[in-house]
Every structure is written in C-alpha cells, then in structure tokens.
Amino acid sequence: MITLTIDGKKIQIEEGTNVLEAALRNGIDIPHLCYHSDLSVSGGCRLCQVEVEGYDQPVTSCGMACAEGLVIQTQSERLTAIRRNLIDIFLADHPLDCVTCDKAGSCLLQKYAYEYGVKETSYIPIYSKTLYQDDNPFFIRDHQYCILCGRCVRVCDEIVGVHAIDFANRGFESHIATPYDGPMIDSSCVFCGNCVEVCPTAALLPVSRLKRGREWDLERVDSICGYCGVGCKIEYAVKDNEIIYAQASVQESVNGSFLCTKGRYGWDFAVNPERLTQPMVRRDLAYSLGISTENWRLPKVSPLDIDKPDVDDYFIPVDWETAYEIVSSKLVDIVKESGPDAIVGLASARCTNEENYLFQKLMRAVIGTNNVDHCARL
C-alpha cells in the first residue's frame, strides 16, 4: 500500500493503481470520458488532467501511477479553463440535441458541459460524422454523437475478445468502424452490447430504447438474469410495465459492468403473444369431465412435426379453481390406485429456489415419493 494526498485527503491505495482510479474509489470525481475502470488507459480525452505538486504542467490522472507522497489537486482555475476548452472542442463536433436526445440524463458529455457551464461551442461547429447505421435489431450506431473516446473499441477487444470494431481513417474522417464499414452482422460482433453499455454519449443506443421516454422517467429494477448459470445482475429500465432496455447493474455483482447478448437483449420473450395466460384443459379430458361437449382425440402426429401448433386447437381455458381440482383429484386417485411411486415430478432449473423447494416437498412430504428430478443433466 502507498499513501498519497488528493485534494488534501490522505489516501491509501495498492501499488499500480492510477491516480484517477484512486480518486474515484475515494469519492473524488475527476471528469473523464475515455477512461473506464475495467479497460486499459487511453488518455485521449484529456479531461482528467490534474495538478501535481512539483510539476509545471497538468498531468492526465488516468495515465499517472500512484506514488508514495504524491500530492494532487483535482480542481484549480487552470484546470477549469483547460476542461472548459476541451468540452468546447468536443461540442464543436457534437450536435446539441439534448432536448430530444434519448441519452439526455445519462450522457457524460452533457453532464460535464453542465458542470463546467459550457452552453455552446465558441468554435465554428463542424459535424464531421453523419453516418447512421441501423443494420441490426440490437443497437444503432449514430456517429454524429461519437466523441471517439474509444471505450467501445477497448471493451470489444479487451473484455469480449472479439475486436469487431476499431478506429478508421484520420482527422475529421476518423470514426469507429467494422472492417470496410460493413454491416455489423458481417463482422465478428457477438451483439453483447457491452460497447453500448460503456458509450458515454448517444452514439450507441439499444434499438428498444429509441424514442421510448426520457432517462429520468424510467423506473429501474435490479434482478438476476434468467438464462445461464453465471447469475448476472441486470438493471431493467421500465416504463408503464414495459421493459425499455437492460444494462449491467451498477451495484456490486458477479458480472460487473458487462452482460452477454441474451441477458441484455433477450428479455422480450416475456411479452410474446404466445404466453400462456390462463389454465387450460385438453379437449379430450374436458369432454370426459363434462366441461366440453365436443368429443376430441389427441392427434397422432407429433407436436414437433406441426409447423405452428395452436394451443387453442388442443385445449380449452378453465378457471384456476377447476384446474386445481382436476390436478389434485387425478394425482390423488393415482396415488390411491398405484402408490406414490407411480407419480413423477420434474422441477426446473429456471424456477426459483423457493419454487423448487416447495415442489420437492410436495412430491416427498405430501405425495410420498422421491421421484423428483430436474434438468440438471440436460
């Protein structure tokens, strides 16, 4: 551990940490656009410059390793002037669309422009990038808002390991590109959306989020992903009982700042019209119970061989009371006739602990069999 001083506060930190990280971990916010805790240091945006005792010129804090006895000032008149000028330059190539922008409220450029009181650019604005790419249903790329911080490039290479995008061209021609500016699907992209997650501006946005409400109007609910066994924590942005988009939760979690494509984009199954919404009884059973007058037989053809089997062709809806009555009577009849081991329960790796616990307790303690298994092996 080494000790340094930031804004008069003595800070103990492990060796190898950079000054920006040390400040952030101790609740001292230094403005930064290109820096991200999980990614390598780029130093491109220059916003995180600080005054270092004994140095004539300000230094980018992301690129400076903490050293014993270092004395750092994160605020000074000179730093404010530098940062204002940097933001001014960014705004010369970034349309001030905040009044209609979907990112407003969580845009870092907007946040710093506000904090440093930069209302508009003092330069002649040249919006150099006009490319708008909506070539996939996961996310859009709206290059006019891109500030070339490179976070997306680094996350794709350093974390996801697919390196689907990189900087192309130079100067005003610079932009983030797939090989030959081709569509995303022709690149090595795996549509995990971690680039969208780390993008500080509206250059990368989830398709599901577009024109679906202001950031401050969205409710946030944290839950655990329902797909694989990693157990990622996901923050869902919700409005009027609809999920608008999903991102990695900011809270401490297994997955940190990142998710995969299924977790981030695969939640819309929940509102698919094919969802079961009421208890149903198969038509032949309904007939034999006198619930239906139509004599019906289960088709011999496998449901797998029917292109789109329709649940209404096979079943009729009933209320919960009727469903519970049928299920419990049938199970009890079979236990009485053939013993509890004639019944098998299959629980689910997609249901909660509470549900699986109750399920096996029903099988064991009420029905009286250990015939309870689930898809652990499959």
Residues 259-318 that bind another protein (CB under 8 A): 259-263, 265-272, 274-282, 285, 298, 302-304, 307, 309, 311, 314-315
- Give the residue, chosen from 106, 144, 253, 292, that forms a contact with another protein under the rule CB under 8 A: 253
Site for another protein in 145-204 (CB under 8 A): 158-162, 185, 190-192
Q: What span, in angstroms and rounded, lies between the C-alpha atoms of 149 and 287? A: 67
* Structure tokens given for 347: 């629980």
Task: Considering only the stretches 27-35, 90-98, 124-132, 361-369, report the one whose residues sit in contact with another protein under the rule CB under 8 A.
Answer: 361-369
Q: For another protein, how many residues bind (rule: CB under 8 A)?
A: 123
Choose between 55 and 227: whose C-beta lies nearer to another protein. Answer: 227
* Structure tokens given for 372: 């309870």
Task: Considering only the stretches 64-72, 75-83, 102-110, 357-365, report the one whose residues sit in contact with another protein under the rule CB under 8 A.
Answer: 357-365
Choose between 80 and 348: whose C-beta lies nearer to another protein. Answer: 348
Residues paired with 221 in a beta bridge: 236
By CB under 8 A, tell whether 328 contacts another protein.
yes
- Give the residue, chosen from 54, 69, 229, 290, that forms a contact with another protein under the rule CB under 8 A: 229
Site for another protein in 19-78 (CB under 8 A): none
Question: What is the phi-psi region of residue 363: left when phi exceeds 0, alpha when psi lies from -120 to 50, beta otherwise?
Answer: alpha
Helix (H) or strand (E) segment spanning residue 373: strand 372-373
Alpha helices in 120-218, H assignment, sequence order:
151-154, 194-198
Site for another protein in 203-222 (CB under 8 A): 207, 221-222
Choose between 179 and 231: whose C-beta lies nearer to another protein. Answer: 231
Ordered DSSP codes for 273-331: TTS--S-EEEHHHHHHTTS--------SS-GGGSSS--HHHHEEE--HHHHHHHHHHHH
Task: Considering only the stretches 20-28, 91-99, 106-114, 235-243, report the one whose residues sit in contact with another protein under the rule CB under 8 A.
Answer: 235-243
By CB under 8 A, tell whether 130 contacts another protein.
no
Q: What span, in angstroms and rounded, lies between the C-alpha atoms of 16 and 8? A: 21
- Secondary structure class of 17 (helix, strand, coil): coil
Task: Considering only the stretches 45-53, 63-71, 104-112, 241-249, report the one whose residues sit in contact with another protein under the rule CB under 8 A.
Answer: 241-249
Q: Which 8-state DSSP code applies to residue 269?
A: G
Q: Nearest approach, Cβ of 28 to another protein (angstroms)?
A: 23
Residues 233, 220 contacting (CB under 8 angstroms): no
